[in-house]
Amino acid sequence: MFEHIDASVFVAVGGVGIFLLGMLILTDGLKGLAGNTLRRWLARYTRTPTSGAATGAVTTALIQSSSATTLTAVSFVGAGLLTFPQALGIIFGANIGTTLTGWLVAIGGFKLDLGQFVLPLVLLGTLLRLFGSGRWPQIGWALAGFSLLFIGIEVMQQGMAPLKGLVTPADFPDDTLAGRALLVLIGVAITLVTQSSSAGVATALVALGTGAISFPQAAAMVIGMDVGTTFTAVLATVGGSTAMRQTGYAHVIYNCMTGLMAFLMLGPVTELLGPWVERGAGNQQIGLVAFHTFFNLIGVIVVLPFTGRFAHFIQKLVPESGPPLLRRLDRRLLVDINASSDAALATIREISTEVLSLLRGLLRGEISERQRLADVNHLVAALGKTRNFVDSMQSDPTQQPAHRRHQAALHSLDHLARLLNRCRQPVRIATLSDDRRLSRLSRLLASQIDVLCTNGNWSGQERRFDRLRDILRRQRHTYRATVIKHASMEGENAERTLEKLDSLRWLHRVTYHIWRIVFRLEDARTVADSVEKPAAPALTN
């Protein structure tokens, strides 16, 4: 008998594993199928914490991954596309979106009993994954994962069936305040082991169906599973960026608050639903997932009016730390090329602004030699760490526009390094002020940089720097002839003449690098808004 029970336990555990595998495959397929569409949708419709909660719930429900939704929100905050309160709305909504899995399991796995009927769909989905083209491999992968969810439930039910009557609600803590608290802790432990609240809820649904636990006990465990997901969030934020740590802490505090509220609601809810859940097969499972969705929905409704204050509290709790220029570069973002591109491009843009401000000051003679050296060293260090981050990014050339944005980051870094190297040439910079034409041209460049830095909107600036670059290119030819003629007639020192020509070349190359940086960063910005944007013209680096 005991050997039979041991075998059943192994079958049940295997069912949990199949369910988890199905969740991973389903999420992978749905994310690949969605592509950049959901990212653009999140950015476009998240205007307030309320709209953020709605988009966060829908997005998480569609891709079945609250971590992917949260990661996107973090990258948007780092890139300046969303404020922290707006991102909090997305995180709150993601909690509602995750409850969809429970509904799928309760309806498909218990009401409709789809476990055996979906077996052929696993083969169909796998074949589409192997031999399909276009979007069919992702559709097939999502179909296979979806099917494995119900197969996992079927296997769990088979494994727990022999335990019916042997394991009863009496074997678990009583339905008292202390007993419910202990059941919440059991729910937390299950989530820590499975690393998935959805798998935990599915296990509770199966145990509820076999009579191993009662409805109030299952509801208490589900509360614990909801809270248990926050421990993973805490571990994920250790050593992370400020935005990542703020998001993690916000997730923990919010889920604990929601869990406490649900715990206080548990008695009245179980009394209200008690007669209904006992009326028919499958009602207990529907009631449990309804309770899970209900307390998450109420939690969002309660916290949304106080999102601003909550965000302020989290920002006080987790203040900015580390070099400001590098605050976005969290290596945990590298798992998502879009999120890491957001962080890298926003950092490169900020470094570019500081480099341009330094150049403007050098052209106007407003920066001392000591300050120049300090600023250059600071920016070189920031650029080096940013390059290391970008070097760790991996993009698939067949996946546009992610690959194009990755390339834009690499090109921009190259031009920034060359631009910073130009800032290490004080003799060439000083020579600009000794000649009337060079001084006029340098003031023109400084004014153009001033517009770029002051305005903050780089749209259209690429054409201005391109025109200025073309002017300086033509000036190199005319000025060269004039300076050499003047030197031969007036007997000017040859070294001095070469210094002037070298300074004009310096001015032209500096303008060229600024033009390319602005072009690349603006191209990356616009291509993120539309997957259908045509490829950039084949230009030199």
Q: 89-114 in b/e burial notation, b at 16+ Cβ within 10 A?
A: bbbbbbbbbbbbbbbbbbebbbeeeb
Share of residues in the chain with pLDDT > 90 (%): 37
Residues contacting 264, CB < 8 A, separation 6+? none
Q: How confident is the model at residue 531 (pLDDT cuts 50, 70, 90)?
A: very low
Contact criterion met (CB below 8 Å) for 139 and 132: yes
pLDDT at 509 over 90: yes
**Average pLDDT of the residues in 136-164:** 86
- Kindly list the domain boundaries of the chain, sorted by start residue: 2-317, 325-529
Q: How confident is the model at residue 301 (pLDDT cuts 50, 70, 90)?
A: very high
pLDDT tens-digit map of 365-401: 999 999 999 999 999 999 999 999 999 999 988 777 7
**Average pLDDT of the residues in 465-490:** 81
Q: How confident is the model at residue 364 (pLDDT cuts 50, 70, 90)?
A: very high
DSSP element (H, E) containing 519: helix 494-529
**Can you tell me the distance from the alpha carbon of 441 to that of 447, in angstroms, rounded to the nearest whole number?**
10
pTM across the whole model:
0.75
Residues contacting 131, CB < 8 A, separation 6+? none
**Can you tell me the distance from the alpha carbon of 408 to that of 181, in angstroms, rounded to the nearest whole number?**
53
The alpha carbon of residue 137 and the mean position of all alpha carbons in its chain are separated, in whole angstroms, by 24
**Which among 97, 196, 114 has a CA at the least distance from the CA of 148?**
114
pLDDT at 532 over 50: no
Q: How confident is the model at residue 164 (pLDDT cuts 50, 70, 90)?
A: low
**Can you tell me the distance from the alpha carbon of 398 to that of 238, in angstroms, rounded to the nearest whole number?**
34
**Can you tell me the distance from the alpha carbon of 251 to that of 381, in angstroms, rounded to the nearest whole number?**
33
CATH number of the 325-529 domain: 1.20.58
Structure tokens given for 307: 């999102």
